[in-house]
């Protein structure tokens, strides 16, 4: 997985940065990140509003573990299906990171090097945590995490798409945290509105689906 993402950034990323105009690259990447982020935010808003049930990752893990044991799957057997599903999921999310790295490195030279180094350091940190823990992160508030990630992806998307249209942000990249705060505020307001508008019965029924 790490090698695949490194190839995407190292080959495709460099080729795009050197061939595609910077404003066009930022416009495309910004639009893609905005679409990804809105998908994450939509799910998080619906879960916080009670329309979609919040995942219980620990319960899901225990159920899947029990099913595998019932099927007689031994620990020393390599699960190719699980490998392919995990590979696809992580590759999809990792590609979002690759888009961010490519957009940050759109100026080329030092900018691209800095973005790649930052992504490598973050990847090593995440892999190290995974190796050290070796179990589901049941203590992590999944929906809150998705809420925050969705807001950040949307913010990066708006920032770069606006730049592609010729807009100049006050303070340049320093304006991104303010955009994040705006997305979080509007999204939380949407949660409150949905809770107010929807009848309690509809929310309870939705949680049981």
Q: Which tokens hold the place of 165?
A: 């249209």
Q: Which tokens hold the place of 126?
A: 């995440």
The helix/strand count (H/E) of the chain reads as 9, 0
Alpha helical stretches, state H, 71-175:
80-104, 110-133, 142-164
Q: Find out whether 99 and 119 touch, Cβ atoms under 8 Å.
A: no
Q: Find out whether 52 and 194 touch, Cβ atoms under 8 Å.
A: no
What string of pLDDT tens digits covers the 209 residues of the chain?
667 666 666 666 666 656 767 778 788 888 888 988 898 899 888 888 888 776 666 666 677 767 766 766 555 566 666 677 677 777 777 777 777 776 666 655 666 677 777 777 877 887 777 677 666 555 667 778 888 888 988 998 899 899 888 888 888 888 999 999 999 999 999 999 988 887 665 554 444 44
pTM of the model: 0.67
Q: Find out whether 44 and 150 touch, Cβ atoms under 8 Å.
A: yes
């Amino acid at each position: 997985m790490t090698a695949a993402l490194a190839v995407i950034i190292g080959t495709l990323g460099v080729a795009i940065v050197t061939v595609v105009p910077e404003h066009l690259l930022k416009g495309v990447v910004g639009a893609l990140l905005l679409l990804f982020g809105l998908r994450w935010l939509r799910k998080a808003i619906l879960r916080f509003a009670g329309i979609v049930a919040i995942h219980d990752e620990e319960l899901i893990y225990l159920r899947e573990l029990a099913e595998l044991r019932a099927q007689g799957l031994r620990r020393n057997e390599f699960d190719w299906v699980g490998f392919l599903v995990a590979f696809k999921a992580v590759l999809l999310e990792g590609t979002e990171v690759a888009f961010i790295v490519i957009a940050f490195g759109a100026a080329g030279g030092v900018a691209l090097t800095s973005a790649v180094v930052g992504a490598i350091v973050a990847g090593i940190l995440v892999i190290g945590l995974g190796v050290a823990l070796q179990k589901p992160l049941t203590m992590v508030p999944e929906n809150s995490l998705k809420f925050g990630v969705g807001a950040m992806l949307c913010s990066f998307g708006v920032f770069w798409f606006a730049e592609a249209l010729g807009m100049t942000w006050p303070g340049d990249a320093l304006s991104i945290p303010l955009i994040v705060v705006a997305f979080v505020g509007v999204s939380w307001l949407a949660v409150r509105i949905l809770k107010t508008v929807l009848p309690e019965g509809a929310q309870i029924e939705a949680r049981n689906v």
